[in-house]
Amino acid sequence: MEKIKSAGLICRREPLNTRFGFKGGALTELWQVSCRLETDGGNIATGQSVQSVLWSDSAVFAQWGQDGGNEKMLALTRFALELLPGRTLEPPPKMLEKLLPEVLKEGRRLTGRPNLRPTFALNALTGVDWALWKLYRLSQGKPDFAALTATAYLGGKQPALGTIPLISYDTEEEQVLTLAKQGCFLFKIKIGSNPGGRNDPREMLEWDIRRLERLHGLLSSLETPWTKSGRPAYYLDANGRYDTRQRLTVFLEAADKMGALEHILLLEEPFPEDCLQDVSGLPVTVAGDESAHSPQDAALLMDQLGYRAMALKPIAKTVSVSLGVLEEAGKRGLPCFCADLTVNPTMVELNKRFAAGLAPLPGLKRGVFETNGAQNYRNWQALCRESPAWGEPWTVPEGGLYPLNDRYYQHDGGIWRE
């Protein structure tokens, strides 16, 4: 097998349209990183990633701020790349398994946080892992995505994928209605707010209930052909902000009282990972995200804590880890879906190809995946023109759906193009 000969990266900052609020904080820009690897056989590959310190470890964001946290993560990616020259090219999950402990240890040293979340390290490794997958594919004779990933749970070929927009704390109601008119039928709504910056869980609960009530009032009477109910569906993301099951139950009871409960398709990551709680018996499907750093974590969530779905993030927690989590969920017959990290258009295509192989979520008539970059990046159109898939019909949604034809699958959506 070939060996890694050299590695490097470039980074640039991309501004957002407005403050992007979630997890009780807010972003104003996202750092875009491109990792480049070359083998001694002359093969070259690049893997992109988007850093999200607030998502991956909000404590780092709180301690170091937006710029300081991004600098720490960028240094960690550089550290990971420096470990690779001289190593033999193996299947990427094996290489990641060896890299992750070293990178996590260095991340804890860099941030000064002995309890740094593994998600921070995985976010830093996403571009590295994707570049390794590209090199590995070249070494295997360029198989397509389904053959390369070799899992029984990515063999589907959805004819179209619905786009899941993100409704953050600051998304205006007019924009929500515009998204609905464009054909969106599953709305990801951020809960777990921090009104006044006091981190008061009672204030959070009250704000979340009022917010859901306003959004439900906007959306509940609309119609869509792509849900089994004929009405728009909601996917609530708490990002670990609820402290107790009792407080979450109060929120769900309020949702039921206002008529929104039956619209909630998913509730993602309600509790912080250092305070995970059993979600069995809750009247909604609870999905894991940040707390599933590994297939083993995902198995614990599903087998011991009652989680009934898993969010996959090949664009934030690496393709390698996402495949492992998918395998665990698939063996249990539980659904998966692809969530976003406000990634650029090139990475949207990777997430899309992953999602295209998954079965539709229960309650939906079409597969879906989350993409909210068009809502949030100031220079989205310029970023689109940089994507290797620019100009292809599958890059533009029609009536809330991305069309995926035979040509799409023949080219794997352009994800292998440099």
Last residue of a domain, one of 142, 157, 188: 142
For residue 37, what is the domain's CATH number? Answer: 3.30.390.10
**Cα–Cα dist 357/415, whole Å:** 14
Q: 366 and 264 in one domain?
A: yes
Burial class (CB within 10 angstroms; exposed 0-12, middle 13-18, buried 19+) of 318: buried
3-state secondary structure of 403: strand
pTM (predicted TM-score): 0.95
Q: Cα(first)–Cα(last) distance of the chain, in Å? A: 22
Same domain, 200 and 306: yes
45 forms beta bridges with 37
Q: Is 7 in a helix, a strand, or coil?
A: strand
Q: What is the CATH number of the domain that holds 220?
A: 3.20.20.120
Same domain, 219 and 115: no
**Which residues fall within 8 angstroms of residue 266, CB to CB, at 6 or more apart?**
235, 236, 284, 285, 286, 287, 309, 337, 361
Q: CA-to-CA distance for 370 and 336, rounded, in angstroms?
A: 12
DSSP state of 357: T
User: Residue 7's pLDDT is what?
Assistant: 98
Total domains present in the chain: 2
Q: What gap in Å lies between CA 220 and CA 263, rounded to an integer?
A: 8
Task: Tell whether 115 and 202 lie within a shared domain.
Answer: no
DSSP secondary structure letter of residue 293: S
**pLDDT (tens digit per residue) in 230-239:** 999 999 999 9
Pick the last residue of a domain from 86, 116, 142.
Answer: 142
Closest listed residue to residue 53, CA positions, set 78, 22, 80: 22
Residues 236 and 364 in one domain: yes
- Extract the tokens encoding 178: 């515009």
Q: Do residue 130 and residue 164 come from a single domain?
A: no
Per-residue pLDDT at 134 exceeds 90: yes
CB 281 within 8 A of CB 262: no
In terms of residue numbers, what domain contains 83?
Answer: 4-142
Q: Does 205 lie in the same domain as 180?
A: yes
What lies within 8 Å, CB to CB, of 196 at 6+ separation is 203
The pLDDT of residue 10 is above 90: yes
User: Are residues 170 and 286 located together in one domain of the fold?
Assistant: yes
Per-residue pLDDT band for 197 (boundaries 50, 70, 90) equals confident
As a whole number of angstroms, the distance between CA 303 and CA 278 comes to: 10
> What is the C-alpha separation between 47 and 316, in angstroms, rounded?
12
The answer to whether residues 395 and 302 belong to one domain is yes
Q: What is the pLDDT of residues 227-272, one digit of tens each?
A: 999 999 999 999 999 999 999 999 999 999 999 999 999 999 999 9
96 and 51 share one domain: yes
Closest C-alpha among 46, 121, 135, 128 to residue 88? 135
Distance separating alpha carbons of residues 243 and 250, to the nearest angstrom? 12
Q: Does residue 318 share a domain with residue 214?
A: yes
Question: Which has the closest alpha carbon to 15: 279, 376, 258?
Answer: 376
The residue from 115, 142, 169 where one domain ends is 142
The predicted pLDDT at position 333 comes to 97
Q: What's residue 27's pLDDT?
A: 93
C-alpha 16/C-alpha 114 separation (Å) is 31
Residue 13 has pLDDT above 90, yes or no: yes
Residues 108 and 166 in one domain: no
pLDDT at 5 over 90: yes
